[in-house]
Amino acid sequence: MVYQASATRYAEMKYNRTGKSGLKLPAISLGLWHNFGGLDTHENGRAMLLRSFDLGITHFDLANNYGPPPGSAEEMFGKVLKNDLGAYRDELIISTKAGYHMWEGPYGDWGSKKYLISSLDQSLKRMGLEYVDIFYSHRPDPNTPFEETMGALDQIVRQGKALYVGLSNYTAEQTQQAASILKQLGTPLLIHQPSYSMLNRWIENGLQDVLDEFGVGSIAFTPLAQGLLTNKYVSGVPNDSRAGGKSVFLNAKDITEEKLAKINQLNELAGSRGQSLAQMAIAWVLRGERVTSALIGASRVSQIEDNVAALKNLEFSAEELAKIEEILK
């Protein structure tokens, strides 16, 4: 059947201005890190993408190495764009990144101009696009001067291959240095994509202040801490979970009794707010408007629907915030 977007797709979603730019992002964005690759079911991925757009999620976040295998998430997204979402291209924010290993030899990794520009050319071909809305340096390169990496981002914008540029996984000090170079070049830094959740608060120790200083937005990945901040782990570690062996990024040994006790207390607090733990975790990341968008992942449509429902209650009382701090300390 020919896809036709919901006429009410903008009725419930909240859109936030990205730093001091003119670009607004949905409060919840969808990442294609997992479950959209060549080893996954195309129809399930397509269903998640289309349902997301029907719910007002206009921003889809990719990277050159997403899959597996690497590149296959962009290929899958390109097929959905061609067959279903192409008519809505101007309503979409599509982002991709480069910075991790993609091909053999000295030019297929890190942050050289050679790698970044070659990689984006490949990404555009895989997705069938003339440009992406946001292109990120996925991680800082310790062996390439920031002037070269940022110069490549500036060149990419001037060539019309991206409208905006971003950084991911840069420290506060590295972000300050990179943002200063980009400002001098005339291509301001739009956004930073860090990991951030109630269980991972490193960005509060300086990075958020740097972003405020330069008028840069932020989009938090893993706001649910790889699924820890969901009801999946309330009763322990399921065998079919990421911590049960499905992910190299989360292991059962990392989930201590102390951490499970905190998760259970947070779950109780979420229930008193009329939310699931996942919904409260997303709302918490978005509190105070210092984070532009929460970047969720999903393996099925119902998870996206549940996450978007977090927007129904984004407010926290002083007592609730104090309780969360007490649980987490």
Of 7 and 240, the structure prediction assigns the larger pLDDT to 7
Place of tokens 């992406």: 132
Cβ-contact 100, 109 below 8 angstroms:
yes
pTM over 0.85: yes
CA distance 262 to 17: 33
What would the pLDDT profile of 128-174 be if each residue is shown by its tens digit? 999 999 999 999 999 999 999 999 999 999 999 999 999 999 999 99
pLDDT at 255: 84
The pLDDT score that the predictor gives to residue 253 is 72
Cα 129 → chain centroid = 20
Q: What is the pLDDT of residues 263-286, one digit of tens each?
A: 999 999 999 999 999 999 999 999
Residue-range domains of the chain with CATH: 15-228+282-315 (3.20.20.100)
**pLDDT tier at 31, thresholds 50, 70, 90:** very high
CA 240 to chain centre: 24
Q: What is the mean pLDDT of the chain?
A: 95
Distances (CA, A) of 146 to 3, 36, 142, 261: 43, 32, 9, 43
